[in-house]
Structure 1
């Protein structure tokens, strides 16, 4: 064998080893950040509510979708699998979410055909270490699984367009979905006659074997057609259905992704339209009209904010006539859209001749079978989509009204979206994300600018429109909570990885070194912010992403309850009255105490071993009614503005608490 060829093969092999070694290290980092000290922070109010739904499903087998809850059922059924395997505890329920955070990181390696190896690794690193993504991955709420589904939908659609044969992971995922979809109704059919003993076991085995057999036949049939390429389309339908079954905001994400694909096509038209390049004035006029329309839609917030910035800056600098600066910056805000398009025009004029590529529309058109050949696959995808919706919203075919609730939820959500959680201001997401993931967001802006200026990487352009579009959509909607930011933070991480990866690919050595320094700085800042947010300031209301979170003092309250429950000799049979109107997530922590009664108000006949009350609001009533029989511990901060006190009967051993009249002496 030629020694040159051998040396080349050896270099390729070494590069492959290095690539997978880096991938392994980043993946381990992602796992560590999501699972280490997973119970460190107490459950949030919303986690407590989700835990209550899960507890009822686990113990009673009952879950009925409530559209007023405006969250889908997938979270509870996924967590149920984990709880049945590992027990009903805080670590398990959070692990059922954290695992999807790791899957997001792993899924990013399917972007390798579209990005350089450096850009891919950077993308994966940001997805693994983003302070916001890690923070919410350690929450028992719906968002992490939701954004995983949006990412998975993109990947399987890309695989379908590339005409890729179904790989092992895609085949396994499809088979698993199909098997579960068949197993549940067959099991219910097997148990319909309520057989006993060996007959019941035999029928369940037959149902499982039948599900496995049908799954095998359908999977083999799918693999026989174009190498199983159609499996990707079926998986895309499953991902979209699961998104709707997870959160009602699915229509926003899916809508923005569809618009982003159109924007990529439009950007390609701009790059290719010689007539427009010859007439830049026409292009700039069109952009100006679009910019004015955009400002009208968002109620002039862009120029308004720019004007406020100019005025505030001039006042801080001690300059005269700050109103003049406000007007100048207001006009600059109006000019942003046409200036951006003018920059695109100038860049297009300086572009070298690039190899001709089929347009995005052509690529998608060619990927779809013509002449009715794809009709069976599209029909099967539609059936699978509908089946998954019915499967989850009917609580596995036990609650028919769930389908009605599925449609009612959108009416409720639109009303909620304009009334609740509106106190954070129009630019809440910009402020939160710059505080928590600022280095990534700035890098994402760089990546988006490069993608749109170069217009040679369709995926990079799509992701840019995706995250900027979702950021715009959620900024316009009055309802704002930090966890909704995950929907645009995920694609922002991809844009950041692409942008910094491009810096490492430039020809000039000095620029490459500068790019490497920038990458190291961004990575260091991101890791520092991740540690600070997730393991130090996780309950600090001044920290980004922390939103009315349960304070760490709450853990001491729970410990006191457990201590005195043991001291009574009754254990879990200890009687506990919760008279505070604010108590979530205490319901989760007292789930094993059947005599823990959540009254939410004071009443005269309480004779419980312990009482949990609200400091300040209930002080005088507690002193007047219960001073003779109880001492208290605390106060314990539940969340900002809410403190709890624990009253313990005086005859319980080890009770050295303070007398109730001392409540008057305790202030903030």
Structure 2
């Protein structure tokens, strides 16, 4: 392929990828996990010291990298943050995952790189989680740089490649505990490749790895990991916690509401339809990755490095098996193996368009074209039409569409509070299950709790889960002295028909709202219709 045409095509595809990832970035309501991550980032922005928690929240890279994007958006506090300032980070890493494929022109072949670019750019799941403020894409990116660094090191053992491998390993560890799965798959992939190699090639591989370089890899990985987990050497305990955390996550893998059957990821990717929703499938990636794996395993390749592609087949197969066997499954975890499938799809596409039989070649080109168009259509549908609809396969325990209504109702009523400070709000939910409300109520003075507190006076606005209503009635009407009790009205009261709406925080997680009568009447005097909650 002409170099100018190749480069032009890469730029066009990258622009398409960017448009898919940044358009309407703030429209989807924040997931609870995104809100939790936002709070942790805000603590760093506001000057609090980060301390790694071995029980929750994963590794520190997301927090520290988000400092950079937050500063670029001029955010100096939690209140200053917005969805775009946070989600731009995974957007960038999603684009980085696209760009680094360009470095594999020799390993994959230029045409395979171009096809891989296309599939990664428009893959619905890659676009969806490139717009999601969680750790996963950071982990996938540093796994990719680890593998690419290893490829170039074995070709030409130099210190720079040893450093890239070590730094990538350290950043993988500092991103998410599941990095051990990726490393295990890499090691097993190399082992299978080594076993298949001739005795002569094995000796060549072993001799190419210098002990001094191996030592440098380990030292740089340890340094980077220690740097992040110790909060830049301010919290040494974080280093120990980064190891002890694996006990917690091993137990969680077996005992969790996130336990799913082995085929869970395949159903989401290739055979998903919920209720009357559309049928979602990235079938072209499944088909072409199998084709690429077949030719890669047999070594019958038109272009590229057969050993690297065979390693990629082994790595992808192993990591798929591991993630399928682990009972604990969440949709975003599939990115760790799906990226490999997307790259292998590029390899498979090249093999098909170079078939000797002209008829098969033309049919293959037609199938690939239709598959890419279908991916683009599905990506648009998933990310801009069903972007927080339960019929979307990747909407998992997501924030209800009621939450923006709850927040808008609170803002409307709170605007009639005459106090000098932001109106006080109390939110009580069992097990502190009130996320993502801390994100949406960050402008207000909010008391959160997992029980109805009897120590603090009732706030003008109160949100609870229905199971806590009896405890709240005691707080409002039994504990206060006579003459100090204020009546409370339902926050989501419909003036027209006298009904009360029970809102949802997430599917099956209900919220009931209350507002003090004094604040209710102030609002009602100004705009009676404003208190109605739209269906």
The verdict on a shared fold, with TM-score over 0.5 as the criterion, is yes
1:153 maps to: 146
Alignment counterpart, residue 165 of structure 2, candidates 236, 242, 247: 236
2:174 maps to: 245
Alignment counterpart, residue 239 of structure 2, candidates 388, 403, 412: 403
Task: Map 1:109-508 to 2 at 5 A.
Answer: 109-163=102-156, 229-268=158-197, 359=201, 361=202, 364-369=205-210, 375=212, 377-434=213-270, 435=272, 436-454=281-299, 456=301, 457-508=306-357
1:284 maps to: none
What is the distance in 2 between the residues matched to 1:566 and 1:517? 59
Give, in angstroms, the shift of residue 455 of structure 1: 5.0
Task: Map 1:45-124 to 2 at 5 A.
Answer: 45-69=32-56, 71-86=58-73, 87=75, 88-124=81-117
TM-score (norm 2): 0.85
Task: Tell me if 1:31 matches 2:18.
Answer: yes
Q: Which runs of 5+ in 1 are unaligned?
A: 1-11, 165-228, 273-357
When residues 455 and 415 of structure 1 are mapped into structure 2, their CA distance, relative to the original with a 3 A threshold, is farther
What is the distance in 2 between the residues matched to 1:632 and 1:363? 73
What is the distance in 1 between the residues matched to 2:257 and 2:332? 12
Q: Which runs of 5+ in 2 are unaligned?
A: 76-80, 273-280, 478-485, 493-500
C-alpha contact (below 8 Å) 2:253/2:328 kept by paired residues: yes
Give, in angstroms, the shift of residue 268 of structure 1: 4.8
C-alpha contact (below 8 Å) 1:421/1:478 kept by paired residues: no
1:647 maps to: 514
When residues 503 and 409 of structure 1 are mapped into structure 2, their CA distance, relative to the original with a 3 A threshold, is same
Give, in angstroms, the shift of residue 422 of structure 1: 4.4
When residues 572 and 511 of structure 1 are mapped into structure 2, their CA distance, relative to the original with a 3 A threshold, is farther
What is the distance in 2 between the residues matched to 1:402 and 1:84? 25
1:527 maps to: 376
What is the distance in 1 between the residues matched to 2:417 and 2:204? 72
C-alpha contact (below 8 Å) 1:579/1:598 kept by paired residues: yes
In the TM superposition, what whole-angstrom CA distance separates every residue of 1:499-540 from its partner, at most 9, and x where no partner exists? 112111223322221111111121122112212222222223
2:275 maps to: none
2:498 maps to: none
TM-score (norm 1): 0.69
Give, in angstroms, the shift of residue 363 of structure 1: 5.2
Give, in angstroms, the shift of residue 417 of structure 1: 1.3
What is the distance in 2 between the residues matched to 1:571 and 1:564? 15
In the TM superposition, what whole-angstrom CA distance separates every residue of 1:606-658 from its partner, at most 9, and x where no partner exists? 532222222x4345666785893323224332211012233333433434679
In the TM superposition, what whole-angstrom CA distance separates every residue of 1:363-392 from its partner, at most 9, and x where no partner exists? 5335334xxxx52x4333332221112111
Which is further off, 81-90 or 491-500?
Answer: 81-90
In the TM superposition, what whole-angstrom CA distance separates every residue of 1:260-304 from its partner, at most 9, and x where no partner exists? 1222334456xx9xxxxxxxxxxxxxxxxxxxxxxxxxxxxxxxx
C-alpha contact (below 8 Å) 1:65/1:72 kept by paired residues: yes
Work out the number of aligned pairs and report it: 492
When residues 508 and 46 of structure 1 are mapped into structure 2, their CA distance, relative to the original with a 3 A threshold, is same
Task: Tell me if 1:635 matches 2:502.
Answer: yes
Matched position secondary structure for 1:247: coil
Give, in angstroms, the shift of residue 255 of structure 1: 1.2
What is the distance in 1 between the residues matched to 2:264 and 2:293? 21
C-alpha contact (below 8 Å) 2:464/2:513 kept by paired residues: yes
Matched position secondary structure for 1:597: strand
C-alpha contact (below 8 Å) 2:289/2:341 kept by paired residues: yes
1:294 maps to: none
C-alpha contact (below 8 Å) 2:166/2:216 kept by paired residues: no
Give, in angstroms, the shift of residue 446 of structure 1: 2.1
C-alpha contact (below 8 Å) 2:402/2:503 kept by paired residues: yes
2:435 maps to: 584
What is the distance in 1 between the residues matched to 2:339 and 2:203? 28
Give, in angstroms, the shift of residue 143 of structure 1: 0.5
C-alpha contact (below 8 Å) 2:112/2:347 kept by paired residues: yes
Q: Which has the larger radius of gyration?
A: 1
